[in-house]
Chain A
Amino acid sequence: MMRKISTIISNNRRFLPLTVTILLFFVAYAVGAWMYTGMRDPQVFLNLFRNSPFLLISAVGMTFVILSGGIDLSVSGVVALTTVASAALLRDGWNPWLVILLMLVMGMVLGATMGAFITYLNIQPFIATLAGMWFARGMCFFISDDVIPIDNHTFLILARTKILIPGLSDPVSQTGDYISILVIVMMLVFAAAIYIAQFSRFGRTVYAMGGNNGANEQSARLMGLPVNRTKMLVYILNGFCSALAGLTLCITVSSGHGLYAQGFEMTVIAAVVIGGTMLTGGEGYVFGTLFGVLVTGVIQMLIQFNGKLSSWWTPIVVGLLTLAFIIVQSLLAAQNARLLASKKVKRAEVGLPSDAGEAGKKKPMPFARQLLVFGGGALVVIVGTFLVVTNGQRNANGLSSTTPIQNCQSQPFRQDQAVTIIQSGAVLAYERNGGPNCIDELYAIYPDGRIEGDNGSESVKKQLTPEELDHLLSVIVARQWFTNEIYDTYHTPCGSCYVYYISVSYDGKQKTVKAVDGGTDAPANYWQVVSEINGVIPKFTSP
Chain B
Amino acid sequence: MKTLKSTQTGRKIVESKLFFPFVALALILLLDFIFIPGFFKIETRAGNLYGSLIDILRNGSYVMLLAIGMTLVIATGGVDLSVGAVMAIAASVAAIMINPTIIGVKLPPDVMKLVFDPNFTYSPLWEVILVTLVVSMVCGLWNGILVAYGNIQPMVATLILMIAGRGIAQLITHSLRIQIFYAPYAFIGKGWVILPFSLYIVAFVYAIAWLLTRKTSIGLFIESVGINFRASFYSGIDEKKVKLLAYIFCGLCAGIAGLVASSNIQTSDANQIGLNYELDAILAVVIGGTALGLGGRFSLLASIIGALVMQATTTSMYAIGVPASAVIAVKALVVIFVILLYSKQVQSFVRKIIGQKGA
Contacts and interface: CB of A to CB of B under 8 A. Distances in A.
A402 B271 contact: yes
A313 B270 CA distance: 14
Interface stretch (B33-41, B124-132, B174-182, B298-306): B174-182
A496 B328 CA distance: 16
A507 B293 CA distance: 63
A73 B164 CA distance: 18
A315 to B, nearest CB: 6
Given A121-B340, A141-B323, A396-B174, 12 more contacts: A123-B343, A126-B155, A134-B328, A134-B335, A138-B328, A141-B324, A266-B163, A312-B175, A323-B160, A393-B174, A396-B175, A402-B272
21 contacts: A117-B336, A121-B345, A132-B332, A134-B335, A135-B328, A135-B332, A137-B325, A140-B325, A279-B156, A315-B166, A322-B160, A323-B163, A330-B151, A393-B174, A397-B176, A399-B177, A402-B271, A491-B175, A492-B177, A492-B271, A495-B272
A123 B283 CA distance: 13
Residue picked from B160, B176, B286, most chain A C-beta under 10 Å: B160
A122 B345 CA distance: 10
Contact of A139 (B152, B326, B343, B344): B326
Closest 5 interchain pairs by CB? A138-B329, A316-B167, A135-B332, A141-B326, A134-B332
A310 B292 CA distance: 38
A142 B265 contact: no
A87 interface: no
A142 B323 contact: yes
Contacts of A405: 264-265, 272
Contact of A131 (B150, B174, B336): B336
A140 B267 CA distance: 28
A495 B276 CA distance: 13
A130 B174 contact: no
B260 to A, nearest CB: 13
Contact of B279 (A130, A310, A399): A130
Contacts of B333: 131, 135
A269 to B, nearest CB: 8
A124 interface: yes
Residue picked from B153, B160, B325, most chain A C-beta under 10 Å: B325
B336 to A, nearest CB: 5
A327 B145 CA distance: 13
Contacts of A330: 150-152, 156
A244 B100 CA distance: 46
B329 A145 contact: no
A523 interface: no
B148 interface: no
Mostly helix, strand, loop or mixed at chain A's interface? helix
B323 A312 contact: no
Contacts of B207: none
Contacts of B345: 121
B178 to A, nearest CB: 11
A258 interface: yes
Contacts of A85: none
Interface in A515-541: none
A127 interface: yes
B106 to A, nearest CB: 16
Contacts of B174: 393, 396
B325 A145 contact: yes
Contact of B175 (A270, A323, A492): A492
Nearest to A496: B325
A280 B159 CA distance: 13
A56 interface: no
A310 B175 contact: yes
Interface of A: 117, 121-124, 126-128, 130-142, 145, 258-259, 266, 270, 279-280, 310, 312-313, 315-316, 319-320, 322-323, 326-327, 330, 334, 393, 396-397, 399, 402-403, 405-406, 491-496
Contacts of B323: 141-142, 145
Interface string B319-359: 00001111111111101100110011100000000000000
B239 interface: no
Contacts of B327: 138
Given A126-B155, A138-B330, A399-B176, A312 B167 contact: yes
Contacts of A402: 177, 269, 271-272
Contacts of A310: 175
Contacts of A319: 160, 163-164, 167
Contacts of B264: 405
A334 B152 CA distance: 9
Contacts of A136: 329
A49 B195 CA distance: 56
A141 B331 CA distance: 14
A142 B326 contact: yes
B292 A141 contact: no
A134 B329 contact: yes
Contacts of B270: 492
Nearest to A326: B156
Nearest to A74: B332
Contacts of A123: 336, 339-340, 343
A330 B160 CA distance: 13
A396 B271 CA distance: 14
B170 interface: yes
B271 to A, nearest CB: 5
A131 B279 CA distance: 9
Nearest to A279: B156
A140 B332 CA distance: 14
B207 to A, nearest CB: 28
Nearest to B81: A126
Given A138-B326, A315-B163, A316-B164, A131 B335 contact: yes
A431 B348 CA distance: 61
A145 B327 CA distance: 12
Nearest to B293: A124
A44 B44 CA distance: 64
Contacts of B343: 121-123
Contacts of B332: 131-135, 138
A127 B164 contact: no
B132 to A, nearest CB: 20
Contacts of B171: 316
B199 to A, nearest CB: 18
Contacts of B160: 319, 322-323, 326
